[in-house]
Amino acid sequence: MRLTTPPLLLLSTLGTQTFAFLNPDTEQHPLAHHQHDNVLNGLDRVASDDDVPSYRVPLLSLHRALVDVPSISGTENDAAFLLGQALTELNYTVSLQPLPSTSTTENPNPQPRYNVLAWPGRDARRTLHNRTLITSHIDVVPPYLPYALDHTPIPPSHPVNFTTLPATTLVSGRGSVDAKASVAAQITATTLLLTSNTIPPESIVLLYVVGEETSGDGMKHFSQTLTTGHPPSDDAPANPTPQFHAAVFGEPTDNRLACGHKGITTGTLTATGRAGHSGYPWLGRSATAGLVHALEALLAADLGSSERYGNTTVNVGVLEGGVAANVIAAEASARLAVRIAVGERRTGRGVVEGRMRDVLAGVEGGEGLGLELTGGYGPVECRCEVEGFETMVANYGTDVPNLEGEHVSYLYGPGSILVEHGDDEGLTIGDLEESVEGYKRLIKYAVEAS
């Protein structure tokens, strides 16, 4: 659907000036100072004018608005509407791409979910072919954590004079790093590049997806529509299967350019035994003991390594088994997440699965073992030879492999993986502003690169 009118009033506390991006040589009009800011544990500390970029207020206002809105995976529609309205106010043409809804026993009436697409300009042609895609995700992990400055929660209705805050101020809350910081910084950087005529409007398109933290269904659905000819775009029939020039993905990389990330597969290791009285263990066969021996072998095994991605690792996330302490367990299982460091994107999972099965075949008494892996991919390579950026390799997964095509992929964003998903998720104002400058350079490079 094309977003033409405000679907809700989530932006009522922000005002239109929040999203009024200015050219670099235009005077910035800061928000008025409010006296009751002074009670917020030192948030009235004054920053030097030289430390405050012209885009700070719209950047931090958008970031705050996004963090204030809960968007745990599966419940992202309020965040999608908020973002769509913000982009409309920034003079983008916005479309909300609905995802197919799936009813489950736990959730018989799922709420609608939308990816957000935006093209520069009012009533712009919604083409995708040969554009550079700027993308991240709007869903977050549970639980919701409120927006805070230097560990002080700030109610959504409470005004803050962002221009007075030092760059060292900590901004926290669920999604403040992963990945609403990337969303706000990407939009800020892209809009600045457009208003300064650094890049042409027909060179880029923005995409913000749902579901990255769980199944990646938002990006997978968008990617599938590219091949089936039903994306919300004006490409067909000229380009029935549009191909992007490049894709810039936003994830926490400490403002370093990622050269790629490990692959992943998940699954379950099961063990079956024969129940019996625990006082007579020779009369049965313990599934839990067999599972422990198998896990010990997997954790100790060399499942493959590479110079770029390091070692393939196995995480034992959930253990289940047995019915009572004095009964020999007949069944046991372990849910696993395997981070893959060998092979190519399409082959690495198969390589590691083969090595895991070889290890399990050598476990004494392993006749009752079973391994079932679900989906996955090998290491994902991204372009990182861009002047002016430090580089890194990530151990986490992203939506990069969920977008099919022959485009070049870049992975970059503010914040640290070491705090995302935790109770202390947050980043400094300086980190967020640094990422805007990084995105400006990276997006310009991606658009112009052959």
- Residues identified as active-site: 212
Interatomic CA distance for residues 282 and 292, integer angstroms: 18
The tokens of 78 are what?
């309020």
Interatomic CA distance for residues 341 and 397, integer angstroms: 12
- 113 DSSP assignment: -
Interatomic CA distance for residues 262 and 380, integer angstroms: 6
- 282 DSSP assignment: G
Interatomic CA distance for residues 61 and 55, integer angstroms: 10
Q: Kindly tell me the burial class for residue 366, based on how many C-beta atoms sit within 10 Å of its own C-beta (0-12, 13-18, 19 or more).
A: middle
Interatomic CA distance for residues 198 and 120, integer angstroms: 13
> How far, in whole angstroms, is CA 342 from its chain's centroid?
23
Are the beta carbons of 107 and 74 closer than 8 angstroms?
Answer: yes
**Position 266: which residue type?**
T
The tokens of 250 are what?
């936003």
Residue with tokens 């991919």: 377
Interatomic CA distance for residues 250 and 107, integer angstroms: 30
